[in-house]
Structure 1
Amino acid sequence: MNEFPASNGLKVVLTNAGQTAYTAVDGESESTSYLGFAEFLAFREYFRAEEDERLGRWRWPENPDYVVYPSALYKHPADSDEVNVVNTSNGASHRVKRADSPRLFGYFSEAGSAYFDARPEPKPWATAEPGEIWDLTVDGVENRYAAILSHGKNGPYVRMFPTDNVAATTVGTQATAITAGQRIWPEES
């Protein structure tokens, strides 16, 4: 397609010089603007990403023909460990689970694995509430911590304070230094 009439009256024309011309027709007069090919491609990617975001899907950067739809868009109740991967070039799709091998369904599984890699499973301590008690492994050392509401420049947040070792490090619930943890109190029901 070398020419496209947009619904707003603009006509998009691809030229031989590697530029894209936008021709605006207003009654009898016509004006043309040009955009270089690199800029045209950047805008194409931008608008595609904008559409992907609007539709709630994720596009695999290694092969943009594959888009991933989180299960929350098509399944109730939502299962965050399952996605639907669609090859937009031919419409074929597969449901992929986080636990699946990255090669089970070829590119479909690779795209699904890339999606899950970009969204690691939430760690249980990441949603700790003030007043809870946790056993956490921080920098390879296990200690007991209390979740306390703190206030920082970006507002309130939960911070973990050691309860039985005052020399232990205080950490935020999102700290990468935490490698394992289990809530002790209140007990899970």
Structure 2
Amino acid sequence: MHIRFDVPADPAYAVRVAGVMSGLYLRKFRYIGLGLVVVGLVGLVVPLPNRDTGIGATPVFTTIIVVGVLSILFPLWMRHSTRRRAAGLAVDGSYDITDDNIMMRSGTESQGIAWEGVSRVVETPDFWVVYVGRIASTVIPRQLMAPHDERTLRAFLVERGSLPADGRTGQQA
């Protein structure tokens, strides 16, 4: 297998990549924030024994709720910030994918990932997100590939066990 395609210097592409990658990293903050809000609300509603003595619990639980709401809003702010910064990072690039590795070039920088190091691949509507260990290392833009190259790479990923045969990964970004 040998697949090669170019990536144009398109600010919209850089913004989509930044959105996908930041969404993967920031998903946990939504769950943490939701948990904090629930704990704070339960603490305010459920009566505690000996609430009349010592420091009042209301400011503590109110603070937990505020931190929870901020934690829920943090991914939205970070995604906006990441997308705004990424718009100025658009440069010409290319991908060269073989049976052995993925070589990516962006501007004057070049990086490769050996397939042996790839632990899994998550499919999103526009990209394949390549994980090395537990870290999302790069994306492969599906919309920039020729249809036959996309089918070839999909078959290769399924054969390796990096991508489920049905194309579902259970995690859409």
**TM range, smaller chain:** under 0.3
Tell me which structure has the larger Cα radius of gyration: 1
More helix by share: 2
Counting strand residues as a fraction of each chain, which structure ranks higher?
Answer: 1
**Higher RCO structure, 1 or 2 (CA under 8 Å, sep 6+):** 2
User: What TM-score results when the alignment is normalised by the length of structure 2?
Assistant: 0.25
Task: Give TM-score, length-normalised by structure 1.
Answer: 0.24
